[in-house]
Amino acid sequence: MSFQWGQDAGDKVDPAPSLCTCNEKHHVLRVVCVHMEYLECVQLVICKRNPAAAQLVHRGLFPCAPLSPTLAVNMDILEFALELFVHMGPMSGHGRPP
């Protein structure tokens, strides 16, 4: 299985945080986002008021680290994994120990 980058694979800067008027220091964080059929690289403008984790969750992505995540996974993939493990048969070797 191989992943493909989205149609516009270039880095996209999230425009929403640029509206932040707080006096905190802002910086850009690059995050690779894993979707069901493609990868996407985005750049988030973050500060204490608009942390990366909150911005990613707002986009429907789960950050893989609480502070300065560099990877995020689409919530649909997490739901798929949950359903997969819930319905996994007992003979798969991943169930309860014998």
81: left (phi > 0), else alpha (psi -120 to 50), else beta? alpha
d(CA 24, CA 26): 6
Whether the predicted pLDDT of 59 surpasses 70: yes
Quote the pTM value.
Answer: 0.71
At 91 the pLDDT is 66
Comparing C-alpha atoms, which of 30, 34, 43 is closest to residue 4? Answer: 34
At 22 the pLDDT is 86
Confidence of residue 58 (pLDDT cuts 50, 70, 90): very high
